[in-house]
Structure 1
């Protein structure tokens, strides 16, 4: 594990858009949010350019990301939006020399591709946390914005999750488990399979979440990951928020049945209820840091080291 540096007021924050575009008012909102935190947003002047899929051409999105990675005067790279596009940057990213000093990447969804690369290739710790467009639009509650602020500024060095529920006997029988967490968006993780950056879950707890995927697709993605060996040496599976995915002609999804099936199929512990993903509450989840899962009297406590240092 490579620790990132806590930020301080006045620090420069490099803003990137490796996936989908945002509207200019959302760029302004992201800037205003960082200024409200008394940080210096560094947003490339032409970060958004009309494109049929992405925020910009691949080469320019990578150029902005490269500049953020290699800049000597910033500690954090914060993504504007997810969507789709980060995985197209990985072959170019693989040609870069690992920087001497780690930085903190923040983002969710499509940014899972970058989390996975930085963890596996450079050994960095990253933060699965709200994107800037969401923060800039005021869609994060004051309570959870404050939690994120405390983590980034080093006022909280451990984040606790107390609402996990054990879904199978393997999970219910755990008293103490020490590991690390990797993962992110399930559909993005599936796209890593068979690539040089296939998700490595060895000796790790795998966290997954998704939005807008019907039950059969979630089942299919998990089955693909199992057949590819991605669940073979995993210490456990932690389910975050899965939203949307209503079945045709109904107002409901069948997630409960899918997750019950997988909790019975797998011989690893399966937990549900991590408050992270695409839902209203998007609590920060530190990746590639030490974590401890404890269970007593049916109550589960997951404590995760934020990965920061003074």
Structure 2
């Protein structure tokens, strides 16, 4: 595991847009947010250009990402927004030589493709945490903005998730489970299946979240993961936030039934209640760093090392 370096005031932050475009006022908001934290935003000219799907053509989005990876004066790559597009850049990324120094990738949702690549190919630890356009629009509460600041600037070396709900007997029996977290957006992880960059779950806790997916689609993705052997290899499954996905007939989702079914079907621990994903609260989840999971008084308690260093 390669540690990333804690932030210092004045640090350059390379801003990239590997997926959907952000509007000009959102880019400006992201810029102002980084200045508020006394950081130097580096948002390249022409980062976003009209395109029918993405923030720019594949080659241009990759060129900006490559420049951020290879820049000698910055240690951070922070994504503007998610959407769709990162996985189209992976074959180009695979041709790059592994950098000597690790950098910190920050983002969620579509950025899951990049998290998995950097972890599996280069051994980096990354941070599943709010995108810059969200922070720039003041959609993160002061409490959780402070938490993110303390993690990035090294005042906190661990992230703690209390009150995880064990959904099956295997989860209720967990004691001193040492592992690491991998995963991210469920749909994006599914898109890696059958590729050379398929998510690796060996000796890891698999964290998943999603937005706008109905119950049958979540069930189908889990079934594909099971048939592909992903659940057999991992230490357990942790559910983040699943939002949207209401059934047309009832205007309510059926997630509870889906997760209950999988709790009964799986012989690995299944937990629910990680405040991470697309809901209002998007707590940071360090990927590919040591973590410890315990169940005390019927509640799961997860402590994850941030992966930072001085």
Alignment of 1:201-216 (within 5 A): 201-216=201-216
Structure 2 residue ranges without an equivalent (≥5): none
Moved over 6 A (4+): none
Q: CA deviation at 1:96?
A: 0.3
* Residue-pair matches, total: 310
State the SS of the aligned residue for 1:163. strand
Match of 2:52 in 1: 52
Aligned residue for 2:196? 196
Structure 1 residues not aligned, in runs of 5+: none
Secondary structure in 1 aligned to 2:247?
coil
Deviations 1:141-189 (A, max 9, x none): 0000000000000000001000201000000011210000000000000
Within a 5 Å distance, the mapping from 1:231-310 to structure 2 comes to: 231-310=231-310
Deviations 1:25-78 (A, max 9, x none): 000000000000000000011111000000000000000000000000001100
Partner of residue 36, structure 1: 36
Aligned to 2:114: 114
In 2, Cα distance between equivalents of 1:282 and 1:163? 16
Residue aligning to 1:157: 157
Q: What is the TM-score normalised by the length of structure 1?
A: 0.99
1:299 Cα shift?
2.6
Aligned to 1:127: 127
Determine the C-alpha separation between the residues in 2 that align with 1:223 and 1:131.
Answer: 30
CA offset at residue 277 of structure 1? 0.2
Greater CA drift, 45-54 or 225-234: 225-234
Aligned residue number for residue 96 of structure 1: 96
TM-superposed CA distance for 1:229, in Å, is: 1.5
- C-alpha separation between the residues in 2 aligned to 1:45 and 1:36? 21
CA distance in 2, matches of 1:68, 1:86: 15
Q: Distance in 2 between matches of 1:227 and 1:100?
A: 37
Matched residue SS, 1:301: strand
TM-score (norm 2): 0.99
Instruction: State the alpha-carbon separation in 2 of the partners of residues 111 and 132 from structure 1.
Output: 12
